[in-house]
Amino acid sequence: MKMSRLRIAAVAAMSAAAIALAGCSGGGGSPSSPSASAPSGETPVAGGDLEIIVAGTIATWDPGSSTGSFPGVNWDRLYAVYGALLSVNVDGSMDYGFAESLTTEDGGATWTLKLKPDLTFTDGEPYDAAAVKANWDRFADPANALGAISVAGTFTSEVIDETTLEITPSEPNPVLDIQIANAIPFIASPKSFPEPGENLTEPVGAGPFVLDEWDPAVGESLVKNEDYHIDGLPYLDSLTFTLVADPAQRVSTVVQGGANIMNGYPFQWVSDADNPAVGVFPVASGGIRHFVFNTTSDLFSDVRARQAVQLAVNPDEMVQTLTQDPSAQGSTALFPESSPYYDGALSLPEQDVEAAQELVDEITAEGTDFTVDLLVAGVPELIRAGELLQLTLQQLDGVTVNLNQIPIPDWRAEAFDKDNFDITFYPGVFDLDSPQVGMGALFGKGGLDNFANFDNADMEAALAEAREATTDDDRQAALRKVQEIYVEEVPIVVFGIDYRSFLHTADVVGFQSMGRGALYTDRIGFKSE
Amino acid sequence: MKATLRAIGTRLLYGIPVLLIVTLGAAALMDLMPGSPGQAILGDAATAEQVAAINAQLGYDQPFLQRYLDWAGSALRGDFGQTLFSREPVAEVLLRRLAVTAQLALMALVMALAVAVPLALIAALRAGKLLDRVLGFVTSALLSIPSFVTVVLVSLIFVVWLGAFPATGWVPPSDSLADNLRYAFLPALSLSIYECAFFYRVIRSDLTGTLREDFILVARAKGLPRTHIITRHALRPSITSLVTVMGLSLGRLLGGAVIVEFFFAVPGLGAEAVNAVSIKDMPMIQGIVTVCVVAYVLIFIVVDLAYAWIDPRVSVR
Amino acid sequence: MTSQLKQDPGPRTQGFNAVIRPKRWGTSLPLVPRLKPRRPRKANRGALWFAVAWLTVLVLAAVFADVIPGLPAYDEKIGAFAQPPELSIGGLLGTDGIGRSNLSRIIYGARISLTIAVVSTLIGLVIGLVVGMIGGYYRGAWEATANVIANTLSALPPLLLLLALVSAIGASLFGITIALGVVIADLYIRVTKGAVIGNTNREYVLAARALGAGDFRIMTREILPNLVPVLGSIIPMAMAIMIVVEGSLSFLGYGIPAPTPSWGGMIAAGADIMRQFPLVILWPVVTLFLTVFSFNTIGDHLASRTDVREAKL
């Protein structure tokens, strides 16, 4: 398959980022490496109105309601009005916004947050340590029913002086800074707090933009905050998020120039790859495409059942069908080849249908019914992947697969809260930025992405080691153990690596994304003519 | 006059049980559907307890009949509640959406009429000849294309190949009339294709019947010019059927533009309805349903009145 | 103005003549409507034959799908995804986004689409006949009730009602058929009621009552058969609508769940990959179009044969 220009450019960008990844270290301030933690391309000119197309509106402007630093969900909008205390870059380094530093001297038992001085919200209230504490205490209060409680509830804080806050987690937590950056970096003016249960519809923050109009069926429009704490930023005069529900139409709109940016995956715009009017910006951290076994279900609590399914699947076929890209490569390792944590030996076994059949026969001979409830969120690529998995598994004797397709807004409740599945596909990719934290979310007990309900003592130990590691070697060893357990227990089956990307009109420059893909909208802008 | 007023009154009266049943049914259906407003607000990472807490705040833990009566009570006083996310008054949001959908519906109707009436006339005059047969075939074909195929084809032709119109989006007329028409053209065109074929067939078959009537022969015998016959004599009886189908079309367009609005990202009633159903925004759903029923009743009152005005033989019962 | 007709259609009758058939057990009242003499239809003779042929082929293929030689199963992967057509039975129309045979999925999809069309039409017909008959025959409050029911069903945007019903009942064949049947019922209610009202005052009904026939007998044995022409022209067009609406449901994501093929589902799946692989969406679109067109053409033809004005609307 011929490599298009855009493809080559994307791969080059990824390799550059990968080199930067090799030099990563987490926990406590670390030097940013140039290529992945600075905006791409030339410096934007001042001025301009940028339009970003999104798939859905946001439900609330509450700073405690973020659902992850992914592009296209509410993180982009929250960053626009609130800015961030600190963020994680794609290479794992920290990007400090309103915070000057967030450090620990004692391995995570206490943390110290230092704010930049003389910050104010757009309503005039001071953005000081007290304001930060007020926000975090509010997140931690169960009466407010905010998702942020999952991180904010793990620590208490104390104001030392105007710009210093001391944070004490309930247990020593060496990766608290990454967790804060990925969940609760948004601080709102305490005057704007709503009553418990009320929706926050009028946000007041100190971010690069101020909310101008919000129409849930149309989108959100924001204008430049003239008093943003960094001189010269944001470059843009206004930022608009526009809703376009149909995915193919999102691509059309950007290609035609009707909007400037959309986020997705490279396979969605393959036919426009050579169009000079558009460019692609990949999020270098990349992620794994995988499906998950419910290890607490009757059938898949047995590791042989999981191995049987895994042996029946051809990862190349699976990723090609999902992306409709005949040149896509399958991969069953937890990391991409360019990652320092990658080890070719730590991949799942190759496809072996006979061995799969043997395992199935073993299980059915014991009287267990090999009926699989496959849950699929109703997006076209996952439906394809789900149908392929069903087709593949039903070629084995004794296997029945029931495919249950539900709308994507309802998927997480079915899959995570109710565990109503045997196998489900994880939508999109699971990001590999900060794997020492990410793997915990994926495999750790109680992890927010642990759909498999995996609970394994060795894994817990390895994850703890990864979090607490202070040197690259220690971290590498710990993550190696994680991968070994993954190969042995097969709670999930990875079948490909993919990179979130942005399709944008050629005149947009200054792209920089956070670890899981959300854009720094204060640093983006238009090329000079 | 009194009879007309009484007839209007009867229609309105009949509309009320319809309204009640429809709103009650909507409330019941939403109850049966999975998901809840709390889930929609809190999003993915919320726990079941948090969702339950928000639902309780919103009054969702009450039995649905109680919620329905609460809503009905405030609706009668003019308060239709607030939307789920942005907490705007439902009535305001509805009016905005209705304006958009109404504009598309009217544009589609005008486009359809402008094309269908002249074509039907010509075809009826040349009944049985080639043009009539071809048009009959083409309109039959157009009626067989589902709307989700129409939008894709229209987009392919006008956006991808011609590049003359924007792929998605909407600009309100208050911002810029020219832009508004540019953005509205493709959705209105997609809607008008079906209506045009429908109008054509109805008018044409009506006209062929009318043109065979004796009074047309008399007019010809009198030596009246052809155009005069067509416009003053032949079209008149067809106006009633035209009015009926326009009413039907308007009703259909107001409620059924869902796919077109979805595809072209137009913030109209249909798009809002799909969104409201997916996030279980009860006040909005009830609001939309009410608007649809009221519009429906009003359209048919107008249609009946138009009948009575056009054809003095028809008395409004 | 020229008249192209060879025959004068005569006074505006219902289009049929009652025929009295005396039976052994006594006089039975008119049951057999005879269609009007054929009037030359101005267009579409060819189209009509095509429509009949297409539907016949489709139904035969759907019924005998399992025994067509060389046809792969609809959930069997016969090659790489999105392959263009080739000269084998399975690959005649190429493969879809997963690698399954498009031809096979279209034929099996015909089963689903036709089943949905037929069953939902039956459901709608039953509801429509019952409500419309009672309302039209007894008039008064019954007619008002029938009106309210019909108006309720049509006042709601159909797609919305369907979305809600399907979400509530479940996106299974059963749920979708019921939902579609309910939504189309208002058409049948109106047509039935209108036709019944037109018929109740006719002489043969009066005669039947004079002979002592009860209401139920009059409704079922006298009036109902006279509705056949009117309904006959509506049913094909309504079935066409059912097929399209099922497609719209699938397009919006609420249709028949995988892997059961349905034309609407195939179109939705093909729409996603249309930019790279336009052929995949072509086949179900063309099939859907031809089927709907055939239903419409047959319905048109029947409508012209019975010359009932209401049928045009």
* Spatial separation of the C-alpha atoms in residues C86 and C101, rounded to whole Å: 11
| A150:B263 CB<8 A | no
Q: Which two tokens stand for residue B125?
A: 């005059």
Interface check B263 vs A, CB under 8 A: yes
- Torsional class of C46: left (φ above 0), alpha (ψ -120 to 50), beta (otherwise): alpha
Q: Does position C150 have pLDDT exceeding 50, yes or no?
A: yes
Interface check A420 vs C, CB under 8 A: no
C-alpha dihedral sign at A135, A137, A140, A145: negative
DSSP-derived secondary structure for A227-284:
T-SSTT----SEEEEEE---HHHHHHHHHHTSSSEEEE-GGGGGGGTT-TTEEEEE-T
What is the largest distance, in Å, between two alpha-carbon atoms of chain B? 85
Q: What is the pLDDT of residues C91-118, one digit of tens each?
A: 888 888 888 989 999 999 898 888 888 9
| A388:C75 CB<8 A | no
**pLDDT value at residue C165:** 74
**pLDDT value at residue A50:** 94
* Spatial separation of the C-alpha atoms in residues A227 and A189, rounded to whole Å: 15
Q: What is the pLDDT of residues B32-80, one digit of tens each?
A: 776 677 777 766 556 677 777 777 777 777 777 888 888 888 888 878 8
Number of CB pairs, chain A paired with chain B, less than 8 A apart: 128
| C276:A384 CB<8 A | no
**Cβ-contact A263, A72 below 8 angstroms:** yes
B269 to chain A: nearest residue by CA? A217
* Closest Cβ–Cβ partner in A57, A147, A246 for B85: A57
| B127:C4 CB<8 A | yes
Interface check A410 vs B, CB under 8 A: yes
| B277:C167 CB<8 A | yes
Q: Does position B317 have pLDDT exceeding 50, yes or no?
A: no
* Closest Cβ–Cβ partner in C44, C163, C164 for B136: C44
* Closest Cβ–Cβ partner in A142, A199, A252 for B85: A199
| Window 223-282 of C, Cβ < 8 Å to B | 240, 244, 247-248, 251-252, 267-268, 271, 274, 281
Per-residue pLDDT band at C307 (split at 50, 70, 90):
low
* Spatial separation of the C-alpha atoms in residues C212 and C208, rounded to whole Å: 7
| A242:B265 CB<8 A | yes
Give me the CATH number covering residue C264.
Answer: 1.10.3720.10
Nearest-CA neighbor of A263 among A281, A276, A246, A239? A281
Sort out which chain A residues have CB atoms less than 8 A from C277's CB and list them: 324
- Kindly report the nearest CA distance between residue A110 and chain B, in angstroms: 26
Interface check A248 vs C, CB under 8 A: yes
The kind and range of the H/E element at A174 are none
pTM for this prediction: 0.81
| B277:C300 CB<8 A | no
> In chain B, what percentage of residues exceed pLDDT 70?
94
- Kindly report the nearest CA distance between residue B86 and chain A, in angstroms: 6
Reduce the DSSP state of residue C311 to 3 states and report it: helix
Per-residue pLDDT band at C161 (split at 50, 70, 90):
confident
Interface check C289 vs B, CB under 8 A: yes
Sort out which chain C residues have CB atoms less than 8 A from B248's CB and list them: 313
Q: Does position C8 have pLDDT exceeding 80, yes or no?
A: no
The kind and range of the H/E element at A373 are strand A371-377
Q: How far is CA C225 from CA B142, C31, C123, C195, in A?
A: 33, 6, 19, 11
Asked if the structure places residue C93 within a domain, the reply is: no
C74 to chain A: nearest residue by CA? A391
Q: Which two tokens stand for residue C271?
A: 């729409």
* Closest Cβ–Cβ partner in B87, B93, B166 for A258: B166
| C297:B125 CB<8 A | no
Q: Which two tokens stand for residue A164?
A: 């210093």
Sort out which chain A residues have CB atoms less than 8 A from B40's CB and list them: 59, 409
* ipTM rounded to 2 decimals: 0.80
* Closest Cβ–Cβ partner in B58, B85, B159 for A252: B159
**pLDDT value at residue B4:** 72
Q: Does position C57 have pLDDT exceeding 80, yes or no?
A: yes
CA atoms within 13 A on the CB side of C259: 28
**Cβ-contact C239, C233 below 8 angstroms:** no
**pLDDT value at residue A114:** 93
Q: How many domains does chain C have?
A: 1
**pLDDT value at residue A388:** 93
**pLDDT value at residue B46:** 63
**pLDDT value at residue C221:** 79
Q: What is the pLDDT of residues B161-217, one digit of tens each?
A: 787 888 888 888 888 888 899 999 999 999 999 899 988 888 887 787 777 777 777
Interface check C16 vs A, CB under 8 A: no
Interface check A68 vs B, CB under 8 A: yes
Mean pLDDT estimate for chain B: 81
Asked if the structure places residue C114 within a domain, the reply is: yes
Interface check B46 vs A, CB under 8 A: yes
DSSP-derived secondary structure for chain B:
-HHHHHHHHHHHHHHHHHHHHHHHHHHHHHHHSS--HHHHHH-TT--HHHHHHHHHHTTTTS-HHHHHHHHHHHHHTT---B-TTT--BHHHHHHHHHHHHHHHHHHHHHHHHHHHHHHHHHHHHTTTSHHHHHHHHHHHHHHTS-HHHHHHHHHIIIIIIS--S-SS----TTT-HHHHHHHHHHHHHHHHHHHHHHHHHHHHHHHHHHHTSHHHHHHHHHT--HHHIIIIIIHHHHHHHHHHHHHHHHHHHHHHTHHHHHHHT--SHHHHHHHHHHHT-HHHHHHHHHHHHHHHHHHHHHHHHHHHHH-TT----
**What CATH class is the domain B90-278?**
mainly alpha
Q: Does position B316 have pLDDT exceeding 80, yes or no?
A: no
Asked if the structure places residue C119 within a domain, the reply is: yes
| Window 72-101 of B, Cβ < 8 Å to A | 83-87, 93, 96-97
* Closest Cβ–Cβ partner in C77, C82, C171 for A324: C82
Using CB atoms, which chains have 3+ pairs under 8 A with A? B, C
**pLDDT value at residue C44:** 60
Sort out which chain B residues have CB atoms less than 8 A from C158's CB and list them: 255-256
C281 to chain B: nearest residue by CA? B149
| C269:A380 CB<8 A | yes
* Closest Cβ–Cβ partner in B30, B140, B146 for C300: B140
The Cβ of residue A32 has, within 10 Å, a number of other Cβ atoms equal to: 17
**Cβ-contact A221, A240 below 8 angstroms:** yes
- Torsional class of A165: left (φ above 0), alpha (ψ -120 to 50), beta (otherwise): beta
Asked if the structure places residue C90 within a domain, the reply is: no
**pLDDT value at residue A22:** 34
- Kindly report the nearest CA distance between residue A435 and chain C, in angstroms: 32
Interface check B110 vs C, CB under 8 A: no
**pLDDT value at residue A312:** 94
| A145:B278 CB<8 A | no
| B85:A197 CB<8 A | no
| B168:A249 CB<8 A | yes
Q: Does position C69 have pLDDT exceeding 70, yes or no?
A: yes
DSSP-derived secondary structure for B125-168:
HTTTSHHHHHHHHHHHHHHTS-HHHHHHHHHIIIIIIS--S-SS
Sort out which chain C residues have CB atoms less than 8 A from A405's CB and list them: 171, 253, 257-258
Asked if the structure places residue C70 within a domain, the reply is: no
**pLDDT value at residue A159:** 93
Asked if the structure places residue C8 within a domain, the reply is: no
| C147:B14 CB<8 A | yes
**pLDDT value at residue C139:** 81
Q: What is the pLDDT of residues B77-119, one digit of tens each?
A: 878 888 877 888 888 888 989 999 999 999 999 999 999 988 8
B273 to chain A: nearest residue by CA? A217
The Cβ of residue C79 has, within 10 Å, a number of other Cβ atoms equal to: 16
Q: Where are the domains of chain B?
A: 90-278
* Spatial separation of the C-alpha atoms in residues B128 and B282, rounded to whole Å: 54
* Spatial separation of the C-alpha atoms in residues A317 and C100, rounded to whole Å: 13
Structural domain boundaries enclosing C264: 109-311
Amino acid identity of A133? K
Going by their DSSP bridges, the two strands A371-377 and A423-425 should be labelled as parallel
B130 to chain C: nearest residue by CA? C43
**pLDDT value at residue A158:** 93
| C4:B26 CB<8 A | no
Q: Which two tokens stand for residue A74?
A: 């509410």
**pLDDT value at residue A303:** 92
pLDDT tens for chain A, 529 residues long, are 333 444 434 444 444 444 333 333 333 322 222 345 678 778 899 989 999 999 887 888 999 887 778 888 889 999 999 999 999 988 888 999 999 999 998 888 999 999 999 999 999 999 999 999 999 999 998 888 787 888 899 999 999 999 999 999 998 888 899 999 988 999 999 999 988 777 888 999 999 999 999 888 888 999 999 989 888 889 999 999 998 888 888 888 998 888 999 998 888 888 787 889 899 998 888 899 999 999 999 899 999 999 999 999 999 999 999 988 888 889 999 998 888 888 888 999 999 999 999 999 999 999 889 999 999 988 888 999 999 999 999 999 989 999 888 877 778 778 887 888 999 999 889 988 888 888 988 999 888 889 999 999 999 999 999 988 888 899 999 999 999 999 999 999 999 999 999 999 999 999 998 888 889 999 999 998 7
